[in-house]
């Protein structure tokens, strides 16, 4: 029999992802917190058991009308009350510390994968369940760590309560004589507790099905509403210029109408389960008293024993109802765990692909010389369509090369040299002395002080104020020097021309030996582009410059021009075999 090639279930993959936390270098601190949490849980169970016996003594004192015994029980309750508050507070503190620490460790593990080697970019082109990776890291990890630890605690607590109160209730129940027979049923209240909890669980599951479907539907339409409003906010300028507010308002009203319908369906789903839960909960404290009342009336048990038995019955049924009580939390925890695992697995797949034979992908490495070499390079789309074949290029230090042609091909080359585009074949050999600095068409400008955006990705202390001012002046945005300490959303408040000039200013600050630009000056007019390229020549006379541009008249700034066009006849990579081949469409 052949071994199964199916991937392991996601729940086991999540355990492999998250379990190393408990064996990490801080394992003794973590295990100490777990041991303390278990000890505090035992303390909680012990206090509940103590409370049940205290309740028994209290009602016996009331039945005996003994003031002295009543005062003793009041003093005992004060001790129980103070210990309960202390244990609960300590338990909450330790549990939340453990939840946050596990979440921090798991977040760091996923961030190490997501924000490295261009994975966050390459995931955009990979099939799989990894949409909204930011939400999976920020929200789903929080849900799964909070829920997993909370559910583990509640399960252990319920099991301890179950084991403790079965014994207590069995001892308090005595035997029930079946009317008309001589058959006695020992511990009958334990049997009734199991039947009561089992019947409630079964009915709860049946009545909860419509609610689960309605809740899933409501979450979907709520997400649609949030997305629609966020989209309107992101494109607010265009909507305002086109006076499209009435259209957007009608669209938002339609989305909210869907929310209203989903809300009403959820309300109908709630009716059955809430009505049942209310009746189930209202009957729970009364049911054991009614059942055991004949024994009390017959004088077979005291009032204290009757009330302790009723409390034990409630605790036992609550413990037995753990699965149905936590059904929603279990579903939410499992869904979030699946989302986290899917993202992590797809990032591992990207790493695995990077280690496959080089026929499957472009080989990117650092060479031993001061040249940039492209050797038999072929570029392809993620779907396998070949854009460019057999490109051989050698760029010497200090050269200025203008790259033009088909935008898909030129931009693909830009991303391939940056290590973001692995699709294709051949080799890219980077210069040994220093990495290339890449300047995209729209530079990334993080929110915050302008000096931080200008210094990115370096710390603000890396450059002096005079260096920052000089770079801004050379890039033609000297008017921004007065705003170096202002905080704003620079990618929204500045026009594209100013944003691109800030990108040029960054290059002037970093003074790299190699610069690769992708239409990084196209927002300026012809004179503006000439000025920016002249500044790059003057400020970085020994640097190599490769620039993708489709504007005419820039040739005088470059020593040679490279025109790259798409293949005339479509061809596709066939990667179904261990070695990729080319096939015609």
Which pLDDT belongs to residue 353? 64
Which pLDDT belongs to residue 35? 93
Length reported for the chain: 585
Which long-range contacts link 397-400 to residues 24+ away (Cβ below 8 Å)? 397/370, 397/371, 397/431, 397/433, 397/513, 397/542, 397/544, 398/542, 398/543, 398/544, 399/544, 399/545, 399/559, 399/560, 400/537, 400/544, 400/545, 400/547, 400/557, 400/558, 400/559, 400/560
Per-residue pLDDT of 253-295, as tens digits, reads: 999 999 999 888 888 877 877 777 777 777 777 888 887 777 7
Token pair for 8: 């392991």
Mean pLDDT, range 77-98, rounded to an integer? 93
∠ CA 305-308-314, rounded to 5°:
140
Whether residue 306 has pLDDT greater than 90? no
CB atoms within 10 A of CB 342: 20
∠ CA 36-42-45, rounded to 5°:
145
Which pLDDT belongs to residue 449? 92
Which pLDDT belongs to residue 122? 63
Per-residue pLDDT of 512-563, as tens digits, reads: 989 999 999 998 888 999 999 999 999 999 899 999 998 888 889 999 999 9
> Can you tell me the distance from the alpha carbon of 350 to that of 362, in angstroms, rounded to the nearest whole number?
13
Which pLDDT belongs to residue 573? 66
| Percent of the chain whose predicted confidence (pLDDT) is above 90 | 24
Architecture of domain 363-572: 3-Layer(aba) Sandwich (3.40)
Whether residue 177 has pLDDT greater than 70? no
The model's confidence at residue 584, banded by pLDDT at 50, 70 and 90, is very low
∠ CA 42-48-54, rounded to 5°:
135
Token pair for 345: 């697995």
Whether residue 430 has pLDDT greater than 70? yes
Q: Is the dihedral of CA 330, 334, 340, 341 positive or negative?
A: positive
* Domain ranges, ordered by start, for the chain: 11-354, 363-572
* Torsion of the alpha carbons at 10, 13, 15 and 16, rounded to the nearest 10: 180
Phi/psi for 232 (5° steps) reads -65, -40
The model's confidence at residue 84, banded by pLDDT at 50, 70 and 90, is very high
Q: In the CATH scheme, what is the homologous superfamily, with its name and number, of domain 11-354?
A: ABC transporter type 1, transmembrane domain (1.20.1560.10)
Whether residue 349 has pLDDT greater than 50? yes
Of the chain, the end-to-end C-alpha distance in Å amounts to 39
Token pair for 232: 């309107």
Tell me whether strands 424-430 and 372-380 are parallel, antiparallel or unpaired: antiparallel
CB atoms within 10 A of CB 392: 10
Per-residue pLDDT of 14-70, as tens digits, reads: 777 777 888 878 889 989 999 999 999 999 999 989 988 888 888 888 888 888 888
């Amino acid at each position: 029999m052949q071994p199964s090639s199916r991937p392991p279930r996601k729940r086991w993959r999540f355990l492999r992802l998250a379990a190393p936390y408990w064996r990490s270098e801080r394992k003794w601190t973590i295990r100490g917190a777990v041991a303390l949490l278990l000890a505090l849980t035992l303390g909680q169970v012990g206090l509940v058991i103590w409370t049940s016996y205290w309740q028994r003594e209290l009602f016996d004192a009331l039945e005996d009308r003994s003031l002295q015994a009543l005062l003793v029980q009041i003093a005992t309750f004060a001790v129980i009350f103070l210990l309960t508050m202390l244990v609960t507070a300590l338990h909450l503190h330790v549990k939340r510390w453990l939840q946050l620490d596990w979440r921090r460790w798991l977040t760091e593990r996923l961030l190490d994968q997501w924000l490295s080697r261009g994975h966050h970019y390459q995931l955009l082109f990979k099939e799989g369940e990894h949409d909204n990776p930011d939400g999976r890291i920020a929200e789903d990890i929080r849900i799964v760590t909070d829920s997993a630890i909370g559910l583990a605690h509640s399960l252990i607590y319920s099991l301890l309560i179950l084991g403790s109160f079965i014994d207590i209730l069995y001892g308090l129940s005595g035997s029930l004589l079946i009317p008309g027979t001589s058959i006695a049923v020992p511990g009958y209240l334990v049997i009734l507790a199991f039947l009561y909890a089992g019947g409630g669980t079964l009915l709860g599951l049946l009545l909860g099905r419509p609610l689960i479907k309605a809740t899933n539907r409501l979450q979907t339409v709520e997400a649609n509403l949030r997305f629609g409003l966020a989209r309107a906010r992101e494109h607010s300028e265009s909507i305002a210029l086109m006076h499209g507010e009435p259209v957007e308002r009608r669209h938002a009203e339609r989305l909210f109408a869907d929310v209203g319908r989903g809300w009403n369906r959820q309300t109908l789903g709630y009716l059955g389960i809430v009505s049942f839960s209310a009746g189930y909960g209202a009957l729970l404290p009364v049911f054991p008293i009614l059942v055991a009342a004949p024994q009390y009336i017959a004088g077979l048990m005291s009032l204290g024993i009757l009330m302790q038995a009723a409390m034990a019955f409630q605790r036992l049924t609550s413990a037995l109802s753990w699965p149905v009580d936590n059904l929603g939390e279990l579903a939410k925890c499992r869904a979030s765990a699946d989302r986290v695992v899917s993202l992590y697995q797809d990032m591992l797949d990207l790493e695995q692909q990077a280690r496959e034979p080089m026929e499957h992908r472009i080989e990117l490495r650092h060479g031993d010389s001061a040249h940039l070499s492209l050797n038999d390079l072929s570029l392809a789309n993620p779907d396998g369509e070949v854009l460019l074949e057999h490109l051989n290029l050698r760029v010497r230090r200090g050269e200025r090369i203008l790259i033009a042609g088909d935008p898909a091909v030129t931009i693909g080359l830009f991303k391939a040299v940056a290590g973001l585009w692995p699709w294709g074949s051949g080799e890219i050999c980077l210069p040994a002395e220093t990495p290339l600095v890449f300047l995209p068409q729209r530079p990334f400008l993080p929110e915050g002080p302008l000096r931080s955006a200008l210094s990115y990705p370096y710390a603000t202390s890396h450059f002096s104020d005079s260096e920052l001012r000089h770079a801004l002046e050379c890039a033609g945005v000297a008017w921004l020097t007065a705003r170096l300490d202002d905080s704003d959303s620079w990618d929204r408040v500045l026009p594209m021309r100013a944003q691109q000039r800030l990108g040029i200013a960054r290059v002037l600050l970093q003074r790299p030996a190699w610069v690769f630009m992708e239409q990084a000056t196209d927002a300026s007019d012809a004179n503006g582009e000439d000025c920016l390229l002249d500044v790059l020549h003057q400020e970085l006379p020994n640097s190599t410059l490769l620039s993708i541009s489709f504007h005419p008249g820039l040739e005088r700034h470059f020593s040679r021009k490279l025109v790259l066009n798409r293949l005339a006849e479509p061809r596709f990579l066939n990667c179904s075999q261990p070695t990729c081949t080319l096939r015609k469409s």
